[in-house]
Amino acid sequence: MKVNEIFYSLQGEGFNTGTPAVFIRFSGCNLECPFCDTQHQKGKEMTEGDIIEEVSRYKANLVVVTGGEPALQLTESLVEMLHFLGKTVAVETNGTVELPKNVDWITLSPKDMVLGEKAAPILKKADELKLVFSDDLCRDARPCVSTYEHINVKYRFLQPCDTGDVEKNKETIKKTIEFCKEHPEWRLSLQTHKILNIR
């Protein structure tokens, strides 16, 4: 497996925000999103045993498998080994590749509203749906979110896109908050790790 990094921090987004977690970031992705804020391309080859040895150094019960696109490499056997350590395994995915059946938590973050049909998710069920929103991606959140109404999820999060422009970000956050107030089945997700300046 090609692993970009393994590190210990707090989950910064979505339902598990603030929860201590070990992050396994796999290298590589099958999509190229213009707003991607992750340098996931580089990495080193690691066996499943190597990964388990590194993860076991940390106290957290939650392991977040991310990327890039982790479904390109994640295996049922690695998830099983993490379970043996007593870990809960959460995966952050764009939903275009099937996941191992034994993961505990799926965060689905589709990218087809930016990249078109080639990025349409094949997953029909997840624990949480997280959509990135900004005027550049979608002028009005309503038609964007309605695209995913057929997907069976427990929680729905709308996350303002960090454009790198302070004034633009303020406007995007304002629109995202207003949307959530109008559609209370949606929750606001902020990238708290950026606010706190942690990984």
Catalytic residue numbers?
A: 23, 29, 33, 36-38, 92, 193
Query: What string of DSSP letters covers the chain?
Result: -EEEEEEEEE--SSTTTT-EEEEEEES--S---TT-----S--EE--HHHHHHHHTTS--SEEEEESS-GGGT--HHHHHHHHHTT-EEEEEE-SSSPPPTT-SEEEE---HHHH-GGG-----EEEEEEEEE-TTT-S-HHHHHHTTTTSEEEEEEEEE---S-HHHHHHHHHHHHHHHHHSTTEEE---HHHHHT--
- Contact between residue 146 and residue 159 where contact means Cβ atoms under 8 Å apart: no
Cα separation, 76 vs 90, whole angstroms: 13
- Tell me the backbone φ, ψ of residue 34, rounded to 5 degrees: -65, -20
